[in-house]
Structure 1
Amino acid sequence: MENLDAFIVSLNDHLWTWLLIPLVIGAGLYFTVRSKAVQLRLLPETFRVVKEKSPPRADGRKQVSSFGAFTISAAARVGTGNIAGVATAITLGGAGAVFWMWMMAIIGAASAFVESALAQLYKVRGATGTYRGGPAYYMQRALGKRWLGILFATVITVTFGFVFNAVQANTITSVTGGSLPETHNSWVGPLIGLLLAVLLGLAVFGGVRRISSVTNVLVPMMAVVYLILGVAVVLLNITEFPRVIADIVGGAFGVRELAAGGIGAAIQQGIRRGMFSNEAGLGSAPNAGAAAEVSHPVKQGLVQSLGVFFDTLLVCTMTAFIVLVTNPELAGRQGADLTQNALNSTLGSWAGHVLTVVVFMLAFSSMIGNYYYGETNIQFITRKRWVLSSYRWLVLAAVVLGSLGSVTIVWDLADAFMGIMALVNLLAIIPLSGIAFRLLDDYVSQRRAGLNPVFTRDRIPDLKGVQCWAPSRAHGEPLSPEGDASQPSSARA
């Protein structure tokens, strides 16, 4: 087992240092410059869009709204990466890792915009009337490379359905064990694994609409509880706050860290843990974004870029402050255990128990989102029912195994599979980004005319492979004084 872990660590170091980090940074900067910083420039518009409601289908059933798609992706984003992942980044890369996590969120939001706008443009309508889409779909329809789509669909299914769900289960087991006496820890893993498998099995058979309804409630509620705990810790240690900021900035640029090679570790851990948490450029959130019923692909691009800010600049930052204001001894602690210890030392043991509940809820909602990503991509590869059924049972098995596995190996595997997935996706969206920027120009021109933007494929007639967005109505609708469309804003196909 130690030899396996050493091999995975070596693979990650080479993959991330020499290939992925330059690619992630370069792509994010390129998209930011080309879009004129769309993630910041259109931020007020983003808040308007996320509140829009989708009209019901002709049969009266609800469509997935922008906010619903946002919460599905947030369910996968806001989880162990925010609590355990940030703590791990600080342990391995020092406080400076937090700064680089912030920087990657800001430029990575542009990558999130591009991939989600493309996913909306090239989505398809399924047999049940819901939309499906994501990188595999735009790789086939826009690039004309189905083999590349199948490769990505396979990688994301393994990464999210199996590996990332194992990470979630592992973290839940870790924090639950931290809330119990050590004499009880021997049965925590098996019991938690079986419980999670049963609950996830009940949730995933309800389909995307039930997934959306569950995450609509769980994610905001648990995020608020966690943020309240974090604010309490920071206020009780407010005199330490200037030191924390100095440590974050100093750890990112300090001479001492440069001499020790610490800056490289800070950058690498900040980018790795940041991508695991906010998924910008990873190719996962577009699978949820494509499910939304919106009037223009750019709307979902904006909503998913907001998700990056919500995840990293708010939730991840709170974890960093919780850990750093308590001035912890980092040696010997890792992941959620470090965050839990910081809460216990300031608020008392009850806070650690509350964190257990929060982690359980957030990680479980992440499992639901992770499962959905795999399901969507399996349907891209094949429509055979037995394949999807087999996938469901394998996901449940991965959850059980993850609850029993080593923390180190589980996280190292997550890094390796995440890196491969990001590599395939980024190499696809870089040449396709010009289409996303043409969509953005069309959106901005309609907004300047005072319209609620509506896209139909005749607005950019040279696009190939677009199945939805039929030119079945007038272009654009006037905005009401409240900022919502005066009529429903679905892009009927």
Structure 2
Amino acid sequence: MAFFDTIFTAVNDFTWGWALVPFLVIFGVFFTIASGFVQFTYFRRMFGVLRKGGETDDPTKISAREALFVSVGGRVGGGNIAGVAVAITAGGPGAVFWMWAIALIGMCSGLIEATLAQVYKRTTPEGDYRGGPARAIIHGLGANYRWLAIIYAVCLIASFAIGFNAFQGNTVAGAAQDSMGIPRVATGALLAVITGLIVYGGIHRIAKAADVIIPVMAFGYIGMALLIILLNLTSLPGVIWDIVANALGFREAVAGGVGAAISNGLRRGLFSNEAGLGSAPNVAATAYNLHPVSQGITQSFSVFIDTMVICTCTAFVILLGDVYVPGAENIDGVALTQQSMVDHVGNWAQYFLTFAILLFSFSSIMYNYYLGENALTFMTDKPMALHVLRIAIVGIVFLGATAPGATAVFNFSDPMMGILAIVNLLALLMLFPIAMRLVRDFGEQVKAGIGKPVFDPAKFPDLDVDATAWPDAPSAKAVTPAE
């Protein structure tokens, strides 16, 4: 075991240590500038997805709204509660500023990767859609790059479906035991049963569950944060100034100063919103959209919700209270967030946060499972393989909840996600010109006064597009069925 730990640590240090974070930032800046700041150009359009039904009203398809909530459920997790607290403890209030900065840049990376996932998605025999970076590599770069797609798929299963689901089960069971004394076995059994019911229902059941759980989760947590902000409204300007001042070096709150703020803010921001990591595009591809860029805009909004809204709520809860002491490391992680809430509104807040963690973690379990399912179907179409994966996920969630020490076995998750992200970034860079053609096509239709731009595969004959995935295309409607 020590041998494998050494290997995983080395891979993790190589990817997340010095290579990956700068690449994610540099590529995000490049995508933003080269695209003409597309995430800000279409910022107002993002809110339209919140309307029930969205662009289309086909009840048999996954809507853009449902895909948004599934991806938000995946992005929003422990990183929004514990991760923000860790960033502030290690990097000071200034880390929050750099979390905001990387989110604004990451919104473009999220838009580009989701757009590519959409254009290369495939229609399944059941009439659903599957896509993501693995399929974008095959159909965008060619069969010669299948080896790269396989590496991506294996790392996706290892990191999200297996490793992260064990940690999610552990997080929920630990919070329930600490705040309410509920035995880990009971929590693990409940999580396993619910997980089984959801994963055996496929993407449609996952989407329907997310459409209910995520709004409750998000609005409940935001509502608590707004209550705390209102109770401390006069202190809010000072907190915002502390964030900016520490980020830019006007005032240093921790050892390491600006460097610590930048490092922790960028790392925790990227871990939280997953922009550019290649995970969310798997969900983005399931949606029924009129144009690939429409789903890109939706996924850009998902990054905004995760960091600019949910993470900011956690940051204000911590910084508006008296529990956090700059430079002190005697308390961090979820305990800092929990004690800060208790400090503001009383002991009942710890039960509220436990419930929030339950919803956050369960939404992540649904999301993580689907990523694994999508990767597995790329590698094999055998039904038995999918059945084995579902049973394994249920068992892993139970194991993570009941045996906290066993989660150390899954320490390969972070290095696997690091490799996953590097593969995704390479593919994004090579496919970026195609994404820009789609963005220009979308923009030209908007300028022409078309409220809902429509993608037409016939205008892109050089692309390996599945025409059946775009039934609303003008060229598709022009075909008269044989009598």
TM-score by length of 1: 0.88
Aligned match of 1:54:
56
Cα distance in 2 for partners of 1:18, 1:473 equals 44
| Closer, same or farther: CA 416–97 of 1 in aligned 2, 3 Å | farther
1:198 aligns with 2:193: yes
**Aligned partners of 2:407, 2:266: CA distance in 1, in Å?**
18
Aligned counterpart, 1:489: none
- 1:468-479 to 2 correspondence within 5 Å? 468=468, 474=474
Partners in 2 of 1:423 and 1:220 — Cα distance? 32
1:295 aligns to what SS in structure 2?
coil
Residue in 1 that maps onto 2:35:
35
Task: Measure the CA separation in 2 of the matches of 1:13 and 1:256.
Answer: 30
- Asked if residue 265 in structure 1 is aligned to residue 260 in structure 2, the reply is yes
CA distance in 2, matches of 1:354, 1:90: 22
For residues 249-307 of structure 1, the C-alpha deviation after alignment (integer angstroms, 9 at most, x for no partner) is: 23323277599434333323222222222111111111111111111111000000011
Aligned to 1:342: 340
Q: Which residue of 2 aligns with 1:130?
A: 128
Gaps of 5+ in 2: 478-483
Q: Match for 1:280: what amino acid? A: A
Where does residue 161 of structure 1 map in the other structure?
Answer: 161
Q: Which residue of 1 aligns with 2:480?
A: none
Q: Which residue of 2 aligns with 1:460?
A: 460
Q: Distance in 1 between matches of 2:405 and 2:222?
A: 28
Return the offset for 1:437.
Answer: 0.8
Please state whether the residue corresponding to 1:179 is helix, strand or coil: helix
Task: Give, in whole Å, the separation in 1 of the partners of 2:472 and 2:339.
Answer: 58
Give the Cα separation in 1 of the matches to 2:176 and 2:16: 32
Matching residue's letter, 1:217? V
CA distance change for structure 1 residues 46 and 454 in 2, over 3 Å: closer, same or farther? same
CA contact (8 A) 2:158 2:413 kept: no
1:151, distance to aligned residue in structure 2 (A): 1.1
Q: 1:204, 1:368 within 8 Å by CA — same for their partners in 2?
A: yes
The one-letter code sitting in structure 2 at the alignment partner of 1:271 is L
* Mapped contact 1:100–1:266 kept (Cα < 8 A): yes
Give the Cα separation in 2 of the matches to 1:79 and 1:426.
Answer: 23
Structure 2 residue 295 is the aligned partner of structure 1 residue 296: no
Q: CA, structure 1 residues 473+166, in 2 after alignment: closer, same or farther (shift >3 Å)?
A: closer
CA contact (8 A) 1:109 1:280 kept: yes
Q: Distance in 1 between matches of 2:108 and 2:453?
A: 20
Instruction: Give the CA deviation at 1:55.
Output: 3.6
Match in the other structure for 1:251: 246
Other structure's SS at 1:326 match: coil
Match for residue 421 of structure 1? 420
Is residue 22 of structure 2 the alignment partner of residue 22 of structure 1?
A: yes
Distance in 2, matches of 1:336 and 1:410, equals 22
**1:24-423 alignment to 2 at 5 Å?**
24-49=24-49, 51=51, 52-56=54-58, 62-144=60-142, 145-180=145-180, 184=181, 188-254=183-249, 257=252, 260-327=255-322, 328-329=324-325, 331-403=329-401, 404-405=403-404, 414-423=413-422
Matched-pair contact (CA < 8 Å) for 1:105–1:274: yes
Deviation readout 1:305-324 (Å, 9 max, x if unpaired): 01100111001100011111
| Pairwise CA distance, 1:94 | 2.4
Change (3 A) 1:346 1:170: same
Deviation digits for residues 401-422 of structure 1 (CA, Å, limit 9, x no counterpart): 3333369959975543332221
1: distance between equivalents of 2:316 and 2:408? Answer: 26
Change beyond 3 A, Cα 1:358–1:277: same
C-alpha change, 1:247 and 1:3, in structure 2 (3 Å) is farther
> Residue by residue, what CA displacement relative to the aligned partner does 1:448-473 show, whole Å, maximum 9, x if unpaired?
22222111211122223555456885
Supply the RMSD in Å over aligned alpha carbons. Answer: 2.7
Contact kept in structure 1, 2:120 and 2:464, CA below 8 Å: no
| Deviation at residue 7 of structure 1 after TM alignment | 7.5
Residue number in structure 2 paired with 1:488: none
Aligned length: 468
Once the two structures are superposed, residues 35-76 of structure 1 have per-residue CA deviations (whole angstroms, 9 ceiling, x without a partner) of 1111111112232355324243xxxx5211110111111111
Q: Compared with structure 1, are the counterparts of its residues 334 and 409 closer, same or farther at alpha carbon in structure 2 (3 Å cutoff)?
A: farther
Aligned equivalents of 2:4, 2:55: Cα separation in 1: 49
Q: Give the letter aligned to residue 223 of structure 1.
A: A
1:129-168, CA deviations, whole angstroms, 9 ceiling, x for partnerless residues?
Answer: 1000000000111111111111111111111111221232
Contact 2:98 2:262 in 1 (8 A): yes
Comparing 390-399 and 281-290, the one that deviates more: 390-399
Q: Secondary structure at the match of 1:463?
A: coil
| Offset at residue 120 of structure 1 (A) | 0.4
Which segment is superposed worse, 381-390 or 9-18? 9-18
Give secondary structure in 1 for the equivalent of 2:141.
Answer: coil
Q: Deviations over 1:303-359 (max 9, x none)?
A: 000110011100110001111111324523332222111111111111110111121
**Alpha carbons of 1:472 and 1:325: their partners in 2 closer, same or farther (altered >3 Å)?**
closer
Deviates more, 1:27-36 or 1:93-102: 93-102
Paired amino acid for 2:424: N
Unmatched 5+ stretches in structure 1: 478-493
- The residue aligned with 1:485 is none
Q: Which amino acid aligns with 2:140?
A: A
Q: What is the deviation of 1:243?
A: 3.6
Query: What TM-score do the two structures reach when normalised by structure 2?
Result: 0.90
Letter in 1 for 2:295: Q
Counterpart of 1:95, as a letter, is P
- Between 236-245 and 16-25, report the one with greater CA deviation: 236-245
Q: 1:412 to 1:268 in 2, by over 3 A?
A: farther
Aligned partner of 1:448 in structure 2 is 447
1:238 Cα deviation from its structure 2 partner: 3.1
For residues 189 and 377 of structure 1, what CA distance do their matches in structure 2 show? 30
For the Cα contact (< 8 Å) 2:123–2:469, is it kept in 1?
A: no
Distance 2:266 2:9 in 1: 16
CA distance, structure 2, for counterparts of residue 189 and residue 401 of structure 1: 10
Identify the range of structure 1 (214-223 vs 38-47) with the bigger mean alpha-carbon deviation: 38-47
- AA of the residue aligned to 1:458: A
CA deviation after TM superposition for structure 1 residue 425, in Å: 0.5
Quick check: 158-167 or 118-127, which moved more?
158-167
Q: What is the percentage of aligned positions where both structures have the same residue?
A: 43
State how far apart, in whole Å, the 2-side matches of 1:75 and 1:387 are: 25
Cα 1:475/1:249, change in 2 over 3 Å? farther
Amino acid at match of 1:19: A
User: Which stretch has the larger CA shift, 168-177 or 336-345?
Assistant: 168-177
Deviation at 1:13, TM superposition (A): 4.2
Distance, in Å, in 1 between the alignment partners of 2:338 and 2:3 is 30
Q: 1:76 to 1:391 in 2, by over 3 A?
A: same
